[in-house]
Amino acid sequence: MSDVIRHVTISGRVQGVGYRAWVDEQASVRGLEGWVRNRRDGSVEAVFAGPDDVVADMIAACRRGPSSARVANVQANPGTSDLLNLRGAGERFAFLPTV
Protein backbone atom coordinates (compact mmCIF):
# COMPACT_ATOMS: atom_id res chain seq x y z
CA MET A 1 0.00 0.00 0.00
CA SER A 2 1.15 3.53 -0.68
CA ASP A 3 1.56 6.16 1.99
CA VAL A 4 -1.10 8.82 2.45
CA ILE A 5 -1.54 11.97 4.53
CA ARG A 6 -4.95 12.74 6.06
CA HIS A 7 -6.05 15.93 7.82
CA VAL A 8 -8.69 15.07 10.44
CA THR A 9 -11.00 17.19 12.59
CA ILE A 10 -12.84 15.55 15.49
CA SER A 11 -15.75 17.30 17.21
CA GLY A 12 -17.90 16.54 20.21
CA ARG A 13 -16.74 16.19 23.81
CA VAL A 14 -13.09 15.75 22.87
CA GLN A 15 -11.25 18.33 24.97
CA GLY A 16 -10.46 17.84 28.64
CA VAL A 17 -10.94 14.07 28.37
CA GLY A 18 -7.44 12.94 27.34
CA TYR A 19 -8.27 12.75 23.65
CA ARG A 20 -4.95 14.20 22.43
CA ALA A 21 -2.90 11.85 24.62
CA TRP A 22 -5.02 8.95 23.37
CA VAL A 23 -4.42 10.00 19.73
CA ASP A 24 -0.67 10.23 20.40
CA GLU A 25 -0.62 6.73 21.90
CA GLN A 26 -2.78 5.18 19.18
CA ALA A 27 -0.78 6.79 16.37
CA SER A 28 2.49 5.65 17.94
CA VAL A 29 1.24 2.07 18.33
CA ARG A 30 0.35 2.10 14.63
CA GLY A 31 3.71 3.62 13.63
CA LEU A 32 2.12 6.71 12.10
CA GLU A 33 3.68 10.11 11.68
CA GLY A 34 1.88 13.39 12.28
CA TRP A 35 0.56 15.64 15.00
CA VAL A 36 -2.47 16.50 17.13
CA ARG A 37 -3.73 19.76 18.69
CA ASN A 38 -6.78 21.35 20.28
CA ARG A 39 -8.69 24.06 18.49
CA ARG A 40 -10.34 26.98 20.24
CA ASP A 41 -13.73 25.92 18.85
CA GLY A 42 -13.59 22.79 21.07
CA SER A 43 -12.54 20.35 18.36
CA VAL A 44 -9.34 18.34 18.02
CA GLU A 45 -7.31 18.49 14.81
CA ALA A 46 -4.79 15.88 13.67
CA VAL A 47 -2.65 14.88 10.72
CA PHE A 48 -1.82 11.22 10.14
CA ALA A 49 0.73 9.93 7.61
CA GLY A 50 1.52 6.32 6.79
CA PRO A 51 0.20 3.33 4.87
CA ASP A 52 -3.34 3.92 3.58
CA ASP A 53 -4.90 1.00 5.49
CA VAL A 54 -3.21 1.97 8.77
CA VAL A 55 -4.30 5.62 8.44
CA ALA A 56 -7.87 4.46 7.65
CA ASP A 57 -7.79 2.27 10.78
CA MET A 58 -6.61 5.25 12.87
CA ILE A 59 -9.42 7.44 11.53
CA ALA A 60 -11.94 4.70 12.38
CA ALA A 61 -10.50 4.56 15.91
CA CYS A 62 -10.91 8.35 16.19
CA ARG A 63 -14.65 7.86 15.68
CA ARG A 64 -14.70 5.97 19.00
CA GLY A 65 -11.93 7.80 20.91
CA PRO A 66 -11.08 7.16 24.55
CA SER A 67 -13.91 6.02 26.84
CA SER A 68 -14.39 9.49 28.39
CA ALA A 69 -14.87 11.20 25.00
CA ARG A 70 -18.14 11.60 23.13
CA VAL A 71 -17.28 11.93 19.45
CA ALA A 72 -19.98 13.66 17.41
CA ASN A 73 -18.21 13.92 14.04
CA VAL A 74 -14.94 13.03 12.34
CA GLN A 75 -14.06 14.85 9.14
CA ALA A 76 -11.12 13.42 7.18
CA ASN A 77 -9.65 15.14 4.13
CA PRO A 78 -6.50 14.66 2.07
CA GLY A 79 -3.53 16.28 3.81
CA THR A 80 -0.34 17.80 2.48
CA SER A 81 3.32 17.53 3.33
CA ASP A 82 3.18 21.20 4.40
CA LEU A 83 0.59 20.28 7.05
CA LEU A 84 2.62 17.26 8.14
CA ASN A 85 5.71 19.44 8.50
CA LEU A 86 4.08 21.69 11.12
CA ARG A 87 5.63 19.31 13.67
CA GLY A 88 9.19 19.89 14.81
CA ALA A 89 12.14 18.56 12.85
CA GLY A 90 12.91 14.99 13.85
CA GLU A 91 9.57 14.44 15.60
CA ARG A 92 7.60 11.38 14.51
CA PHE A 93 4.35 12.44 16.22
CA ALA A 94 3.86 15.73 18.04
CA PHE A 95 1.49 17.79 20.19
CA LEU A 96 1.06 21.23 18.62
CA PRO A 97 -0.16 24.38 20.39
CA THR A 98 -3.87 25.23 20.37
CA VAL A 99 -5.07 27.36 17.48
- For the chain, domains (ranges, CATH) are 3-88 (3.30.70.100)
Q: Could you list the active site residues?
A: 20, 38
Residue 77 has pLDDT above 90, yes or no: yes
**93-95, strands of its sheet edge to edge:** 70-78, 3-13, 44-51, 33-38, 93-95
* pLDDT tens digits, one per residue of 7-31: 999 999 999 999 999 999 999 999 9
pLDDT at 2: 63
Average pLDDT over residues 48-70: 97
> SS3 of 25, please?
helix
Work out whether strand 70-78 and strand 44-51 pair parallel, antiparallel, or are unpaired: unpaired
This prediction's pTM: 0.95
Q: Smallest Cα–Cα separation from 65: which of 6, 7, 4, 17?
A: 17
